[in-house]
Chains A and B, each alone.
Chain A
């Protein structure tokens, strides 16, 4: 996982949750922060899709368990673009 990819994800999530970036770490699980409720979860995914400039596939949506899994999707997108 690259620093810039993780940083981008942390920024998106912290922005939606209205918290400081330092409060969000790679191992934070979906819903484990007090502000991370179902409505904010929807906003996070929509903001993430906007960042990717595409809709997530169903498998990708199902794979989102932790902050790190969001960053992993960014890494996969970068790998695809590079090949």
Chain B
């Protein structure tokens, strides 16, 4: 079960992770849905979305089991991306991140933000298992899960289509357990 602290702000070395309301998350991310390349890597499909379609599709924070944090560099006000956390049965947590500002691509944002977000999740919940589903050809995302110590535990074959280009996609499932994360911390 989630604890109330899960929706608190998170600080990392270079970023503030600011919790967003449902409306705040929608307002911030809807404009990014016009960016087909970004949406392809963030959601697996670069198709155009109506406001209603995006509202139905996006993670809608409820401050109980679903949280969206804006990623804001220290000294700036404009978010460069979002990090989402969804608590699921059984003691599981689905993670996702999208960095919209291309100036920050390849600069270790995901590693830094996700490391702090994972620490935050374990500190403020009884989650035992983290997992993520990644489009098989999203190599940067796969790299980021690998580097953090996630294991590839399965593949969903031909499970979705990118309506923007008609490509049928596989999804890779990555997971990591609390004790593996703690062991990683202890070995660091």
Known: A30-B146, A58-B170, A62-B172. A42 touches B152 (CB 8 A): no
A3 to B139, CA, bound (A): 27
Binds B, one of A4-12, A13-21, A33-41, A71-79: A33-41
Q: Does B155 interact with chain A (Cβ within 8 Å)? A: yes
A-B interface, 5 closest residue pairs, ranked by CB to CB distance from nearest: A38-B140, A62-B152, A31-B147, A58-B136, A58-B170
Q: Does B54 interact with chain A (Cβ within 8 Å)? A: no
Q: Which residue from B106, B108, B136, B140 sits with its C-beta under 8 Å from A62?
A: B136
Closest to A63 in B: B152
Total inter-chain residue pairs, C-beta < 8 Å: 48
Q: Does A61 interact with chain B (Cβ within 8 Å)? A: yes
Known: A38-B106, A58-B170, A61-B136. A31 touches B143 (CB 8 A): yes
Inside 8 A of A58's CB, which chain B residues have their CB? 136, 155, 157, 170, 172
Inside 8 A of B137's CB, which chain A residues have their CB? 61
Is B140 in contact with A41, judged by CB distance below 8 angstroms?
A: yes
A67 to B106, CA, bound (A): 21
Is A39 in contact with B140, judged by CB distance below 8 angstroms?
A: yes
22 contacts between A and B (CB under 8 A): A30-B147, A31-B143, A31-B146, A31-B147, A37-B108, A38-B106, A38-B110, A39-B106, A41-B139, A41-B142, A42-B139, A45-B139, A58-B155, A58-B157, A58-B170, A61-B136, A61-B139, A61-B142, A62-B142, A62-B172, A64-B146, A65-B146
A58 to B137, CA, bound (A): 8
Inside 8 A of A46's CB, which chain B residues have their CB? 139
Q: Which residue from A31, A37, A64 sits with its C-beta under 8 Å from B106?
A: A37
Q: Does B105 interact with chain A (Cβ within 8 Å)? A: yes
Closest to A39 in B: B106
Q: Does A59 interact with chain B (Cβ within 8 Å)? A: yes
